[in-house]
Amino acid sequence: MADTYQSAYDLALADPEGFWSAAAEQVHWTRKWDRVFDDSDAPFYRWFSGGELNTCYNALDLHIDQGRAEQAALIYDSPVTDSRRSYTFLQLRDEVARFAGALAVRGVSRGDRVIIYMPMVPETVIAMLACARLGAVHSVVFGGFAASELAVRIDDATPYAIVSASCGIEPGRVVEYKPLLDQAIGMAAHKPEVCIVLQRPQARAAMVPGRDLDWQEVMAAAEPHGCVAVAATDPLYILYTSGTTGQPKGVVRDNGGHVVALKWSMENIYGVDPGETFWAASDVGWVVGHSYIVYAPLFAGNTTVLYEGKPVGTPDPGAFWRVIAENNVSALFTAPTAFRAIKKEDPGGEHIKRYDMSGFKRLFLAGERTDSDTLHWAEQKLGVPVIDHWWQTETGWAIAANCVGIEQLPVKEGSPSKPVPGWDLKVIDETGNEAAPGNIGTLAVKLPLPPGTFPTLWNARQRHFDSYLAEFAGYYNTADAGVIDEDGYVFVMSRTDDIINVAGHRLSTGAMEEVLADHADVAECAVTGVADELKGQAPLGLLVLSAGCERDEAEVVAEVVQMVRERIGPVAAFKQAVVVGRLPKTRSGKILRGTVRKIADGEDWQMPATIDDPAILDEIAEALARIGYPRA
């Protein structure tokens, strides 16, 4: 591989087949591919067609064969249950093989779908890897999702089996999953053949005779099952993401390209060597959990951390630092919103001083734009590089990143750095042409997408084309808006839906949020566009103030309004903001700006299935009403 970012990037664009076939040599194949890149069904391109492999073998058995049997593969850290478990590669492989046997003896085989509706426990990872071992297709649904949402996914994926747990645990409460599962199966037209339920001590689930089986009992009787070779182009998993029509989109990930790209990413993007501990503080229900809790670290021979807790409150803002210190974590990957929560509770970083962080090398942030205030706070308090990067559920791994394993580039505030090798990223303007450097437009990737991305949507080929490929011929439309500057740095401003039109001027709400976040008393913020009779749309800000701030709210609002006027100009027409106790977010930390806009505009809206706490929207509605929204 090339030794500078630019040489690697140029090589991947000039000779993608040579670049990715070299990366694929690091993967264990049971049959070599016929074609590195298959364009016979353009624009639905495939990688490594004709090749065969097993994902679970590459995650576990390969490392045992290569001498890592006694290295820790998975560390489970659960402050909400005050428990901790560690599995070596050998122990994890044996547990996975047994659960694969338990599934197989009940009829699960290659190509069958298995829905996994589980909390952040080792058994969730074991179930995912067991499906991969059999060649079955897993679909993880975030534990605690509403029954109606789970029912939609059951009918779309038509699973042979469902693996679940009696409950999940949130700070201060137990969330029973089994009643939700039973209700979802009752609502769904498709009925699974079998459900395997992990009984947790915090809540015992009632079992349905003839359908439900106890995890411990099936494991006690199970015989280990070997790895089943599958085609590189066979699906590994389906992961549902929100759709604009209300019908979720089932993003499909294949086996071959997924192993190749994710294994490559650990060394080249994250700079993590085999044997080091990597922690993605996310949830296995999201793409980050799939890619960087479960699969990529194990492919690369790393120890991965599975954390059942929060950045604050379990028990305090030092939770992350404790996990890093106790497990000698070399790199952490989390969302900026987690750091904003920590900074809000511990602005002086006093909790960091309680722990030995000497082995910690880098912090990676993704999921939302990293504002400069959060960036500088993390840099100053941790004393390590803080690296923003950008990707999506559909892509499965980073589109733009500072590839520290190749060459660490200078950091530019607000930028996830440059496109990763293999990603031919452009900015497309309203006319469908490539925009000049520094001009805002839609970020789009010239086809083909690199390995490890999504070849299609589950049973929705035309929807895949219409949603992602139709608007700009020859490009994947990310639906994110941004710019690429003269140095090639990418700035992701917002979703294209969050570009607002103020009196004919297209403005980014993300750019305004960047300004608001710089105010000393603002811990978190969001900006959305609301209806305005005169200008068409006008920006509205939500502000969460830092812990301990006792200033008059009206003063803070007046100051942020003036800051936007000075930095962006009067054209932004930013005149109104409201202080709220917290921002409405999904469980993965994304801010629900669209829902806030509908509340402010008096439009009908539905409770988002992914919301972290439904009660917060009532609080937001009350705060908006105080300043006259919705308008009469």
* Structure confidence by residue, pLDDT tens digits, 147-193: 888 999 999 999 999 999 999 998 888 999 999 999 999 999 999 99
Contact 3, 407 (CB under 8 A): yes
Q: Distance between CA 98 and CA 324 in Å, rounded?
A: 31
Residue 43 has pLDDT above 90, yes or no: yes
Of the listed ranges 422-426, 461-465, 495-499, the one predicted with least confidence: 495-499
How is domain 501-626 classified at the architecture level of CATH? 2-Layer Sandwich (3.30)
- Report which residue type is found at 42: A
| Confidence (pLDDT) at 369 | 72
Q: Distance between CA 464 and CA 41 in Å, rounded?
A: 14
Tens digits of per-residue pLDDT, 68-88?
A: 999 999 999 999 999 999 999
Contact 77, 306 (CB under 8 A): yes
Taking the CB of residue 217, how many other CB atoms lie within 10 A of it?
A: 12
Ordered DSSP codes for 240-276: EE--TTSSPEEEEEESHHHHHHHHHHHHHTS-PPTTS
3 state SS for 585-602: EECCCCECHHHHHHHHHC
Confidence category of residue 305, pLDDT binned at 50, 70, 90: very high
| Confidence (pLDDT) at 506 | 57
Tens digits of per-residue pLDDT, 24-34?
A: 999 999 999 99
| Confidence (pLDDT) at 615 | 87
Contact 334, 368 (CB under 8 A): no
| Confidence (pLDDT) at 433 | 92
Q: For residue 236, give the 3-state DSSP assignment.
A: strand
Structure-token pair, residue 321: 């630092």
| Confidence (pLDDT) at 632 | 60
Confidence category of residue 501, pLDDT binned at 50, 70, 90: low
Q: Distance between CA 514 and CA 459 in Å, rounded?
A: 40
Mean pLDDT of the region 220-236: 98
Residue 390 has pLDDT above 80, yes or no: yes
Alpha carbon 595 to chain centroid, angstroms: 20
Burial (0-12, 13-18, 19+ Cβ within 10 Å), 621: middle
Confidence category of residue 552, pLDDT binned at 50, 70, 90: very high
Q: Cα separations (Å) of 20 from 8, 81, 291, 395?
A: 11, 43, 18, 16
Strands ordered across the beta sheet of 303-307: 83-88, 72-78, 303-307, 277-280, 329-334, 362-365, 386-388
Residue 505 has pLDDT above 70, yes or no: no
Of the listed ranges 180-189, 244-253, 264-273, 448-457, the one predicted with least confidence: 244-253
Residue 17 has pLDDT above 70, yes or no: yes
Residue with tokens 């949830």: 283
- Report which residue type is found at 507: L
| Confidence (pLDDT) at 565 | 83
Tens digits of per-residue pLDDT, 261-282?
A: 999 999 999 999 999 999 999 9
Q: Distance between CA 508 and CA 482 in Å, rounded?
A: 8
Residue 497 has pLDDT above 60, yes or no: no
- Give the Cα-Cα-Cα angle 198, 254, 22 (nearest 5 degrees): 125
Instruction: Give residue limits of the domains in the chain.
Output: 501-626
Helix (H) or strand (E) holding 219: helix 215-221
Residue 102 has pLDDT above 70, yes or no: yes
Q: Distance between CA 444 and CA 470 in Å, rounded?
A: 12
Phi, psi dihedral angles at 266 (to 5 degrees): -60, -45
Q: Cα separations (Å) of 201 from 166, 167, 188, 551?
A: 9, 9, 29, 46
Residue 243 has pLDDT above 60, yes or no: no
| Confidence (pLDDT) at 499 | 64
| Confidence (pLDDT) at 631 | 73
Structure-token pair, residue 482: 């941004």
Contact 296, 304 (CB under 8 A): no
Q: Distance between CA 385 and CA 364 in Å, rounded?
A: 8
Q: Distance between CA 485 and CA 489 in Å, rounded?
A: 5
Q: Distance between CA 423 and CA 161 in Å, rounded?
A: 37
Average pLDDT of every residue of the chain: 92
More confident residue, 243 or 167: 167
Q: Cα separations (Å) of 621 from 289, 493, 560, 599, 600?
A: 32, 26, 21, 7, 8
Helix (H) or strand (E) holding 6: helix 5-14
Confidence category of residue 523, pLDDT binned at 50, 70, 90: very high
Residue with tokens 């029509």: 245
Q: Distance between CA 128 and CA 620 in Å, rounded?
A: 37
Q: Distance between CA 618 and CA 630 in Å, rounded?
A: 14
- Greatest Cα pair distance in the chain: 71
